[in-house]
Structure formats: C-alpha cells, structure tokens
Amino acid sequence: MIDEKAIENIRQSGCTGATGERKRKVLVDDIGFPINKKAEYAIIAGCFQPEGMPHVFRAFKNVLDHLKVDYTLLDKEYCCGWLAFGQMAVITKNEEDIARFKELSPEFLAQNFKQAKELGVRSIVLFCSACEPNYTNYKDLTDLEIITFPQLIDRYFQGGRLKRKIDYYAGCYRFRRRITDIPVDTVAAMNILNKIEGLEVNPLDGKLCCNIPPHMEQLTSSIKSDTVVNICTGCYYALKAKLGGNPNIEVKMLPEIVWEAIEG
C-alpha cells in the first residue's frame, strides 16, 4: 500500500521524505546552481541524486556554464513519484498501487510544468534516470520540450580532448520498459564521447542488467579500463556499490568525463 505520508510530503515540500532543504543546500548554497530565474532550460535534478552525487552535479554545472547554457532549477521541484512508490508498485505487481501511481504522477509533474512555464522555460532537462520514463509518458501534458541531460550537453558540446581509455555502460532500462514502451535516447551520450579527441571507449553490453547478479558479474568482468562511465543514475549507484572495494576502477557519470575533456 502506498504511504500516504509520502504523498503528503510531496504535495507540501515537493520531496518524498524531507523538506527539500538539504537538496537545495547542496545544489544552490554549495555548488551555486541558479534557482527560480528566467531561463531557457529547467534542470530536474531528482529527489535523491544531488545528495548522492554532489561532485557530479558540480561537474555538470561547470559544463553548462562553460557552454554558456541558459538554465535554472525550479523553486519547488516536485518528486515524480517513481522512487517514492511507483517502483515498488511495479516490482510487486500491485495493480491498485500502480493505478494510484499513474493517478498521482501527472499531478506532480504538472506542478513542475507550471513553474517552468512561469519562468519562460522552453525545455525540461532530466538528470534523474528514475524520473525520465514518467516525464516521457506524460509529455503530452505540456508543450515544453522534454530532454535528458546527455541530449542537452550534446546540443552545445563541440568537442574536447582527453587521452584516456574508458568503459561505457548505457544501461539496460529493464524497469523503464515496465512503465513505458517509448524508446530511451542513448545516442546523444555516444555522440558526446565520439567528440572527445583521444578518448578510447569500450561499450559494455547494454543487454546486461546491473540489478541481476549474474549479469553484474558479466559486466564487471568485461571492464577493460580503470574508469566506467554511466548515464543512468541507478546504474551508477549499482556499479559504485559493486566496485567500491576496487581501488583500481573509478565509476563516473558522463558530465565528469565531459568536464575533464573540456579542461583538456
């Protein structure tokens, strides 16, 4: 059964289990993201990602600023509901909770669309991979463009230089396919990597799921470099947990590699 307290929290603060102040501190106070200002792009950071990977958001901001992207955060970013209760409803195949999730999610997303429109935003940019399928499903609720952070970077990034070998894991999007049949864009990330001079990329098998133990073993055994790069936030955490004890392998998100390439 869906936790009614989580729904109440989202309606009051935008976040599922807190007030959102810790997220704001990380993004706005510590890193310096602009918030609630007129801009072309509104960044949807997600409920948990800023606190889980602040260094990635710092790299992301550096990239956006270097590329002179006009962006903002929303003053009160509403949780889409997926991690709060949608994911568990789908995993347990609880049809009642799935129906409730599908009823609540567009309510929350509409609040984000409304704020974005008031700021003159033209495009919503999704950083959190858990949010992306919900926005994809309900993109008809708005005339705003809905894109992912690799699509935004690919739009502005002309190229960089980084003499390095990496492994790249796009992800399998197994859970995503349970809630939407619209394909996810993974082309933009490869476009970006291909623009980096000197970078050698070993693509890992996207049919393997990092949440299935035998698949994870196959993934980690196929790593050929000292760096694994992700675009899916969920895969990032899974690989960090699996490889955290290995001092010879770093797990990174795409913005970190892009910023390194820009710095040259």
pLDDT tens digits, one per residue of 178-235: 778 888 889 999 999 999 999 999 999 999 999 999 999 999 999 999 999 999 999 9
Distance CA 92, CA 90 (A): 6
Beta carbons of 105 and 82 less than 8 angstroms apart: yes
Q: Is the predicted pLDDT of residue 18 greater than 70, yes or no?
A: no
Domains of the chain: 4-154 (no CATH), 159-263 (3.40.50)
- Taking only the tens place, the pLDDT of each residue in 39-75 is 999 999 998 899 999 999 999 999 999 999 999 999 9
For residue 226, count CB atoms less than 10 angstroms from its CB and return exposed for 0-12, middle for 13-18, buried for 19 or more: middle
State the distance between the two ends of the chain, measured CA to CA, in whole angstroms. 51
Mean pLDDT over 124-142 rounds to: 93
Residue 168 phi, psi dihedral angles, 5° rounding: -120, 125
The pTM for the full model equals: 0.94
Tokens 């006009």: give the residue: 70
- Taking only the tens place, the pLDDT of each residue in 155-166 is 999 999 999 999
pLDDT of residue 19: 65
Tokens 């790299």: give the residue: 59
Q: Is the predicted pLDDT of residue 89 greater than 70, yes or no?
A: yes
Q: Which helix (H) or strand (E) holds 196?
A: strand 196-203
Q: Is the predicted pLDDT of residue 5 greater than 70, yes or no?
A: yes
- HSE-up (13 A, CA, CB side) for residue 88: 9
Distance, C-alpha 55 to centroid of its chain: 14
For residues 35-52, b (16+ Cβ closer than 10 Å) or e, as one string?
Answer: beeebebbbbbbbbbbbe
For residues 179 and 256, the model is more confident at 256
Strand partners, 202: 167
